[in-house]
Amino acid sequence: MSAIIHGIVAGTIYPQSDFNASQNEHGGWSGSQSFIIKKGGLDLPAIRNLFPAGKRATDLDPNCDAFYHFLRLISISNVSTVEGGYTKITAEFVGFYTSEYTVEDGEAVAVTFPTYSLRGTLSEEPFQNNPKWKALSRKERNSLGKLATGEWSYIEDPFSAGTYVLAVRTGEGSAGDDMYSVRPSGDQLASANAIEFAIRLSEGVSTYKLGSYEWIKRWEGEAGMTDAQLNSLSRIVEPPGNPPTPNGGRDWMMTGANQEQSGSDATGEAGFHYQNEISFLLSDRGGHDSFLQGE
């Protein structure tokens, strides 16, 4: 406690001189301040009703700098007993201050300046997603698919040393060795890339590492996600903020939408503060599948 309070009155809160606030990288603010009440005051509805979620910091403490009128109560982070018959309540606030507005659903909505980030990622992808696989003929992709599932094998041609062919295991010979039936020439692999895939599949390798990028927008404001943003999830769209786009026919797909809301209908201050984030994934060469991921 910052000072001894003489003649403390039950049912009254006494703001302390420990208010502090800070601004984050998105332009949102958070703050805290403690209040002293007479011990046992929490039993009084009149005291508890003074701390509803959404209460302005300047209403709880009329001496608070008027600049912080936008800070609203989000939680009580600590309640402790103080020597002398007092209870100390620590309140936490969130909010944002901005003169920026964006038009959403025909109304001007206050928002902070957004921040954008670019993050490189590596994912393990099946060969079927590789552009070199997609460039193969349908017949070669079908043959490689049977090799991948184990239905066919890739073995040295029993009639031509040093040559490998697709074959089907037919059983076990008298010496305990595997017996194979070589597939017809129409099922065999002709292109160099198809043969390279077959070599790797026969060695148990079926995935490759795909390098990609994620573009993320974060902002705070008095409104959450718009209908248009929510409807864009899993769709090929142009991200906000002018992200870099390498060549090769790549495009972006919205892959994430996160929203955290402060406030509730019970307080009459529904959704007074929102923290929003949307993310987009850059495709491999050739772009995302517009048939599956487009409108």
Other beta carbons within 10 angstroms of residue 287's beta carbon come to: 17
Name beta bridge partners: 201: none
Distance CA 247, CA 263 (A): 44
Whose tokens are 């077959």? That residue is: 198
Whose tokens are 């959403």? That residue is: 104
Contact status, residue 30 vs residue 93, Cβ threshold 8 Å: yes
Which residues lie closer than 8 Å to 69 by C-beta, 6 or more apart?
Answer: 56, 57, 58
Task: Using alpha carbons, select from 177, 181, 159, 157 the residue that is nearest to residue 168.
Answer: 181
DSSP class of 58: H
pLDDT digits (tens), the chain, 295 positions: 444 555 678 788 999 999 999 988 777 889 999 999 998 888 888 888 889 888 899 999 999 999 998 898 988 999 999 888 899 999 999 887 765 555 555 555 556 678 899 999 899 999 999 999 999 999 999 999 999 999 999 999 988 888 999 999 998 876 767 888 999 999 999 999 999 999 999 999 999 999 899 999 988 877 788 888 889 999 999 999 889 877 889 999 999 999 988 765 444 455 577 889 999 999 988 888 888 887 7
Query: Token pair of 157, please?
Result: 């041609």
Reported pTM: 0.68
